[in-house]
Structure 1
């Protein structure tokens, strides 16, 4: 009887961990007031797990890209910046990434006023490189060990894919979750508008 309970418990845990990408995982909400410091303890999450809001300054971080270079978000001030939170195990990410490559990166990669960073959630370099190759993306991907960068933007246990669009002043202007054609089109349109309105 104990073995049956153990196996059922394992199956439940597997089901919960597998739902992170699809957004079906449970997200805890903090009941405390807003604070300028972004942490799970001090900021309430929205219904999609984001702990940041449109209009707020994007939390700063330094990331190591797959080519070994380090990049700090605040050093990109003056540019329109898109962050894409992703991982190789996320089917929705794999569906969305070729569209990011074609409709955003290839159209804007030579624009000095634009930056795109894919942030791979808690996977080793070899896996991230294989992921980029299998999805055919050429935009920069960086490593997020322990999902510590992700946790500055959303509850650590909440799912991906997520895109965060940041203006030239470092403020968040758009947040997306999962892949939806209409929402993705509005993201592309917003990027085009921001780049045209220099």
Structure 2
């Protein structure tokens, strides 16, 4: 299975690189705006898509694709690599409030998920493994889980079922109307943001071995 996944990711990365090269060569064209929206994920490659949007604002100022690019990128600018992560202050399952800022001093994975999200539940074992391996290393590592559930019982049962042992679980139980999701520009889950001890974003959507590799790099 891992071999198949590896081949798939290699193919996806090759196609993305090819698409980016074509878009870059034709950055002033109307088609470039459409292609940047359709074939490159700004969550994973914000700087590239933002650079195309900058060119498009001058070359195609009235294009609907230019407008759509700006609308898509505006919330992502708040969570670009190197920026300070917006604070989140929501209720834990017991009703008490927990602030993301209170975890400063450690590396923190802000993890958006939900009990009803199959891919999220599938990724949880990787997050649990990373937490257990790195929670006591260096400056420490923890997870700040933000649920997009709207049912408290399902949320808490999923926490227990998946063995999410860290104490930092919050939700406003508003599903896609979550204030935290809006602040981070989250439009699909799972979505995650790795913060350094000062609260700056140093990684986004690090899944599977990518998360462990990044933690091994920063928690030497």
TM-score range, shorter chain: 0.5 to 0.7
Q: Does 1:105 align with 2:131?
A: yes
**Superimposed CA distance per residue, residues 88-134 of structure 1 (whole angstroms, 9 cap, x where no aligned partner):** 111100100012112x1112334562221111114232111111233
Aligned length: 148
Q: CA deviation at 1:159?
A: 1.1
> What is residue 149 of structure 1 aligned with on the other side?
180
| Residue ranges of structure 1 left out of the alignment (5+ in a row) | 1-22, 24-30, 34-42, 178-182
Q: CA deviation at 1:186?
A: 2.0
Select which of 188, 196, 214 maps to 1:167: 196
SS in 1 for 2:133: helix
The structure richer in helix per residue is: 2
Q: Give matches, 1:95-134, under 5 Å.
A: 95-102=122-129, 104-111=130-137, 113-134=140-161
> Larger radius of gyration, structure 1 or 2?
2
Partners in 1 of 2:217 and 2:133 — Cα distance? 13
Higher relative contact order at CA 8 Å, sep ≥6: structure 1 or structure 2?
1
The structure richer in strand per residue is: 1
| CA distance 1:109–1:123, change in 2 (3 Å) | farther
Partners in 1 of 2:93 and 2:217 — Cα distance? 30
Q: Does 1:87 align with 2:118?
A: no
| CA distance 1:75–1:134, change in 2 (3 Å) | closer
| Residue ranges of structure 2 left out of the alignment (5+ in a row) | 1-40, 42-52, 58-69
Partners in 1 of 2:89 and 2:120 — Cα distance? 22
Partners in 2 of 1:96 and 1:74 — Cα distance? 25
